[in-house]
Structure 1
Amino acid sequence: RMISSSNGSQTSALHLCYENINGSCIKVSYSPGLRVILYLALGSGIVLAVLGNLLVMISILHFKQLHSPANFLIASLACADFLVGATVMPFSMVRSVESCWYFGESYCKFHSSFDGSFCYCSIFHLCFISIDRYIAVTDPLVYPTKFTLSISAICILFSWFLAITFSFSLFYTGANDDGLEELVSALTCVGGCQIAMNQDWVLVDFLLFFIPTLVMVILYCKIFLVAKQQARKIESMSNQTESSSESYKARVSKRERKAAKTLGIAMIAFLISWFPYFIDSIIDAFVGFITPAYMYEIFIWFTYYNSAMNPLIYAFFYPWFRRAIKWIVTGKVFRGHSSTVNLFSEKN
């Protein structure tokens, strides 16, 4: 992978990132109209990622009814997506539109480390969420004793620790560009933010994405097979007189299947967002970093927009989340005892 803010070498009128500095990167200039459109499009993604994920976190942490091990995992995932919107996307937006890095060499490494950390954090969270949903759907009555608050806390801590440790140690030891010194020095210029990833580390990078993703795909396939069987069973029982315990089990199964479906959609959105980027990273590392800068920017913004999509998926599929948003936006959360309000209707 090569993260390059400005590797255009031929422009009709030569512009530099820093006009009065020797060794400045070449700037690719867009028309004023196109720049406004790009800032609006990318800026809207930032607003969605920051505000949407903030609403998810406030909803789950404020309303006691939403305090569950599974929801704490979702809140932690929202935190990772929120940090992408707050610490990564604004700087990437300026880099993408201006084709220059104006935030200094030290923040370039920080930015790349944050980018990697929150990306892997999201992947690990989604993997643990798929495990949680698998247990909930296949064994709904035993599930509360299997996936406890302490298990949820361990999953959250593991996700954050592994993601941050891997990304920061990789970029700050310089292991990522071992063997690429000539390429890096040739592309280094003032106003650029180049992070090269050699073939070994790009494969590790891909495996850290691919293995959890494979686990998710296998588990969601199993979930939907079980859900189909449960739906048929409940249908066949509907004509018979069922006991209250069977009726309760049917309601629990239905709720867990609905949650699994919603999170399955979130996972599909994640795959669509991230697969092009990781496939391009692998190809690029083995064929000499030939991806044009504009194509790289398209792939990276696909991944960033994923951070904005999850809250929209929750809002569309979860009535409780829509009710929580209403309480937050209208300021009702500041009323006494608002944390104990019932967000679930009888249908849910």
Structure 2
Amino acid sequence: MNLTEVEEEFCAQSSNFSCFERRLASLTAVDVLMYSAAAAVVLLTVCGNLLVIISICHFKQLHTPTNLLLLSLAVADFLVGIAVMPFHFIMLIESHWCFGAVYCTIHIVLTFFLTCVSIYNVACIAVDRYFALCNPFLYSTKMTVSITLKLISMIWLSVFVYNLLLLYFNGRINYTTENTACAGRCGVSVSENWAVADFTIAFIVPCLTIIIMYLKVFAIAKKHAKTIRSVQEQHHSKNSEKMNSERKAAKKLGILVSMFLLCLLPYYIALIIAMYIRTPSLYLSATHVLNLLYLNSFINPIIYALFYAWFQKCFKLILTCRICNFESSLINVFLKDT
């Protein structure tokens, strides 16, 4: 992912940590409303993804390769909610950066890293669903929990190293204080050649993978639907139930992936345009459309709650503290009347 720091006229007036002290005396009703809305989004993002993390970690029945990939995505969304979104929203409301040079660097690294991790997690989910539908018997023997954990670890480590190298060798993090012309701003500039390369690696490749895999997934699902109807006309079998279950799982994950792409595409389109047509309006558009990318971390738990019955049941078990009971991890979360 690429955030560009453009001409000096795009910068606002400076402020540091004391900006909060100065702002307390001049808060308006609109400011309070904006901060309240931002706080609500951050709180729901953190709590929603934390519920997903606890559910998948605690209940042994949910320890499947696909759910572990969902867990990895939820961890990335949780970290976005707790370490990135609050500071981004404050910067957006205040129109300047108030947290100093050190966290400016941390903020940029986390933004690059967590966004890229999320994209590759969703790409892996798409590939996982394709192989589960394409060859379910081979998938169940080859795609084990241990292999999935190794894959997730490799994704997180390689993405972290890649983004550190990109920012260290080809990027320049720009933090400016109130004594400069471009004051109280936190951004990063990357050379155009590396920006295009990063755009390809962090966006084009995983997004093409996601789109191609899900086109194939829905083609297979359509074929399975016809097979299921023909089988059910003759006799009810376990094979048809298995195929139907996989098809429904693919559709639910397809909704998750579609929402992710809808949140991701506007930002990258605005960013690539702003990179070549450097105008204040396009730069501001890219900055504001970044909200969609962060809000996807808020939307994902809502999708789980709406479309996954197991998440609804886990939510009830966690809120009623039943997970504190002995052997609660063995509860069948797929049964409706537990």
Scaled to the shorter chain, the TM-score interval is 0.7 to 0.9
* Residues 130 and 20 (structure 1), Cα distance of their counterparts in 2 relative to 1, 3 Å cut: closer
* Residues 232 and 189 (structure 1), Cα distance of their counterparts in 2 relative to 1, 3 Å cut: same
* Residues 94 and 251 (structure 1), Cα distance of their counterparts in 2 relative to 1, 3 Å cut: same
* Residues 97 and 261 (structure 1), Cα distance of their counterparts in 2 relative to 1, 3 Å cut: same
Q: 1:122 aligns with which of 106, 118, 123?
A: 118
Secondary structure of 1:343 counterpart: coil
**Where do residues 81-160 of structure 1 align in structure 2 (5 Å cutoff)?**
81-160=77-156
**Where do residues 260-339 of structure 1 align in structure 2 (5 Å cutoff)?**
260-288=250-278, 290-291=280-281, 294-339=284-329
Secondary structure of 2:185 counterpart: coil
* Residues 218 and 196 (structure 1), Cα distance of their counterparts in 2 relative to 1, 3 Å cut: same
**2: CA distance, partners of 1:332 / 1:16:** 50
Q: 1:205 Cα deviation (Å)? A: 2.4
* Residues 292 and 86 (structure 1), Cα distance of their counterparts in 2 relative to 1, 3 Å cut: same
Secondary structure of 1:48 counterpart: helix
Name the residue aligned to 2:196: 203
Name the residue aligned to 1:44: 40
**1: CA distance, partners of 2:279 / 2:79:** 28
Does the CA contact (< 8 Å) of 1:46 and 1:85 recur in 2? yes
Name the residue aligned to 1:213: 207
Does the CA contact (< 8 Å) of 2:58 and 2:329 recur in 1? yes
Give per-residue Cα distances to partners, 1:152-179, cap 9 Å, x unaligned: 1232012211221122222234x1249x
Does the CA contact (< 8 Å) of 1:116 and 1:163 recur in 2? no
Moved more, 161-170 or 115-124: 161-170
Does the CA contact (< 8 Å) of 2:270 and 2:282 recur in 1? no
Give per-residue Cα distances to partners, 1:99-136, cap 9 Å, x unaligned: 12111112111101001100000111111111111111
**1: CA distance, partners of 2:47 / 2:11:** 38
Which runs of 5 or more structure 2 residues have no equivalent in the other structure? none
Q: 1:271 Cα deviation (Å)? A: 0.9
Does the CA contact (< 8 Å) of 1:320 and 1:343 recur in 2? yes
Which runs of 5 or more structure 1 residues have no equivalent in the other structure? 22-26
Name the residue aligned to 1:344: 334
Name the residue aligned to 2:4: 2
**2: CA distance, partners of 1:113 / 1:170:** 10
* Residues 112 and 289 (structure 1), Cα distance of their counterparts in 2 relative to 1, 3 Å cut: farther
Is 2:240 aligned against 1:250? yes
Is 2:186 aligned against 1:193? yes
The runs of at least 4 aligned residues of structure 1 exceeding 4 Å deviation read 6-10, 18-21
Q: 1:34 Cα deviation (Å)? A: 2.2
Name the residue aligned to 1:17: 15
Give per-residue Cα distances to partners, 1:174-211, cap 9 Å, x unaligned: x1249xx9xxxx98634211212331222122212111
Moved more, 260-269 or 142-151: 142-151
* Residues 187 and 197 (structure 1), Cα distance of their counterparts in 2 relative to 1, 3 Å cut: farther
Q: 1:292 Cα deviation (Å)? A: 5.1
Say what the alpha-carbon RMSD is for the aligned residues: 2.8
**2: CA distance, partners of 1:256 / 1:56:** 21
AA of the residue aligned to 1:250 = S
Residues paired across the two proteins, number: 325
Q: 2:160 aligns with which of 143, 164, 167?
A: 164
Give per-residue Cα distances to partners, 1:21-66, cap 9 Å, x unaligned: 9xxxxx9xx9722222221222222112211111111000000111
Secondary structure of 2:310 counterpart: helix
Q: 1:289 Cα deviation (Å)? A: 5.1
* Residues 193 and 241 (structure 1), Cα distance of their counterparts in 2 relative to 1, 3 Å cut: closer
Secondary structure of 1:141 counterpart: helix
* Residues 140 and 302 (structure 1), Cα distance of their counterparts in 2 relative to 1, 3 Å cut: same
Does the CA contact (< 8 Å) of 2:56 and 2:67 recur in 1? yes
Does the CA contact (< 8 Å) of 2:273 and 2:282 recur in 1? no
AA of the residue aligned to 2:213 = L
AA of the residue aligned to 1:100 = H
Name the residue aligned to 1:60: 56
Moved more, 231-240 or 88-97: 231-240
Moved more, 90-99 or 293-302: 293-302
